[in-house]
A and B are shown apart, each in its own frame.
Chain A
């Protein structure tokens, strides 16, 4: 037991480095992806039927493709089209596209949850579409969407583990490398699991608390 703990202490810096890289990738993917998701959520309700259709097709394709395949497309596929991305850039790009597609549905749901009466009141007051969106629909809609968005963020963090397949030196990649050189796969992977759990468990609990708090405030 103490032998294992000793090993863990030795490996910890390396694994934490990998975890930090994973967090950076997730953060960037969310930072690019969620705004894109908002744009898509608005585009899907646009007046132009062509825009609505194009957006829907785009979102369904990005959602229907496994994240792993998106990563492979970004890293191995794009070079054939003349775009060569580093493993970091490809990871961020693929996960950002994935984020945009999934969060567009989450945000759309949030926007639709805003009571119709709210939108009517804004219309009756003569507010323009941009003002209505900015002051009435978005603040309420995004508040509803926040817990699922945070939940999805945790999923994306877990998703960075897939970047192993395109050689990103993140957490699981480091653990696997240690396992491969020492044949101590189980302890190395176990430590990696604990590190993931250490972040994801508190994060999930926090999201749960947030959900309850937000629900109470909107009980008008």
Chain B
């Protein structure tokens, strides 16, 4: 059993790269998408809304296939990792945009009014007053999403990214000890999610202390 864990653990770094890579892409890209969604220009706002709905209505695996086989077999050649990061990153971006939208709604309207009254320019208002608050409010939802993303990253194994689930599949084909192997894989995913859940609680508590209402 120990040998199995030893073998599987080699896939963990790649899983982490996928998860945090996609998260980073999503957290950053989510901002312009959210801004487009909130835009005063009806066309832009509706386009963004349509994009968000469309991307969330198609399974992650299908996006990965579309990028890797669809684009990758003709127009653009890319490695499985790049395809997986693109697909997962896009999905994450769209979900982040929705989270940001929810957080914006939760910000007291007084914040907007106060910063307007102070005569702060629009850009400064967004970056220095509203932005940090959106970030703070979004944190729990983002952490929850990150844990989900960690598990969803297993889908990348299907297009050949050598992460944890891939190692499990490969090992089971070699040794036929399917039961032990996949149970070990499951336990490793659970183990990986624990530090994230714990860290998120700690950060959340610390932020609450600083921002006592």
Residues of chain A contacted by B65 (CB below 8 angstroms): 172, 175-176, 185, 189
Name the CB-closest residue of B to A155. Answer: B59
Contacts of B61-112 to chain A: CB distance below 8 A: 61-63, 65-66, 69-71, 73-74
Residues of chain A contacted by B180 (CB below 8 angstroms): 80
Surface stretch bound by A, among B27-35, B124-132, B134-142, B147-155: B147-155
Contact of A77 among B57, B157, B181, B193 (CB under 8 A): B181
19 new A-B contacts, CB < 8 A, other than A73-B183, A76-B178, A80-B178, are A64-B193, A65-B185, A68-B155, A68-B157, A68-B165, A72-B172, A76-B172, A81-B179, A158-B58, A159-B59, A161-B62, A162-B158, A172-B65, A179-B70, A186-B74, A196-B59, A196-B62, A197-B58, A204-B56
Residues of chain A contacted by B60 (CB below 8 angstroms): 158
Q: Count of chain A residues with Cβ under 8 Å from any Cβ of B?
A: 39
In the complex, A190 has a CB within 8 A of chain B: yes
Contact of A189 among B62, B169, B183 (CB under 8 A): B62
Residues of chain A contacted by B20 (CB below 8 angstroms): none
B binding-site residues for A, Cβ under 8 Å:
53-54, 56-63, 65-66, 69-71, 73-74, 151-152, 154-155, 157-158, 165, 168-169, 172, 176-183, 185-186, 189-190, 193
Q: How far is the CA of A162 from the CA of B156 in the complex (A)?
A: 11
Assuming the A-B contacts A66-B165, A80-B176, are A72 and B62 also in contact, with contact meaning beta carbons closer than 8 angstroms in the complex? no
Contacts of A46-78 to chain B: CB distance below 8 A: 60-61, 64-70, 72-73, 76-78
Assuming the A-B contacts A66-B189, A69-B168, are A77 and B182 also in contact, with contact meaning beta carbons closer than 8 angstroms in the complex? yes
In the complex, A193 has a CB within 8 A of chain B: yes
- How many whole Å from B200's CB to the nearest CB in chain A? 15
Q: Nearest 4 pairs between A and B by C-beta? A: A200-B57, A64-B190, A65-B186, A158-B59
Residues of chain A contacted by B57 (CB below 8 angstroms): 196-197, 200-201, 204
A and B contact pairs by CB, cutoff 8 A, 27 listed: A60-B190, A65-B190, A66-B152, A66-B186, A68-B158, A69-B165, A69-B182, A72-B169, A81-B179, A161-B59, A161-B61, A172-B61, A172-B62, A172-B65, A176-B65, A179-B73, A185-B69, A189-B62, A189-B66, A189-B70, A190-B70, A193-B58, A193-B62, A193-B63, A196-B62, A197-B58, A200-B56
Contacts of A181-213 to chain B: CB distance below 8 A: 183, 185-186, 189-190, 192-193, 196-197, 200-201, 204
Contact of A164 among B61, B63, B178 (CB under 8 A): B61
Asked if A64 contacts B186 (CB within 8 A), the reply is: yes
Residues of chain B contacted by A161 (CB below 8 angstroms): 59, 61-62
- How many whole Å from B104's CB to the nearest CB in chain A? 19
Asked if B154 contacts A68 (CB within 8 A), the reply is: yes
In the complex, A139 has a CB within 8 A of chain B: no
Contact of B189 among A64, A77, A185, A193 (CB under 8 A): A64
Contact of A185 among B54, B56, B73 (CB under 8 A): B73
Residues of chain B contacted by A179 (CB below 8 angstroms): 69-70, 73
Q: How far is the CA of A13 from the CA of B71 in the complex (A)?
A: 24
Name the CB-closest residue of A to B15. Answer: A66
In the complex, A165 has a CB within 8 A of chain B: yes
Residues of chain A contacted by B73 (CB below 8 angstroms): 179, 183, 185-186
In the complex, A79 has a CB within 8 A of chain B: yes
Residues of chain B contacted by A185 (CB below 8 angstroms): 65, 69-70, 73-74
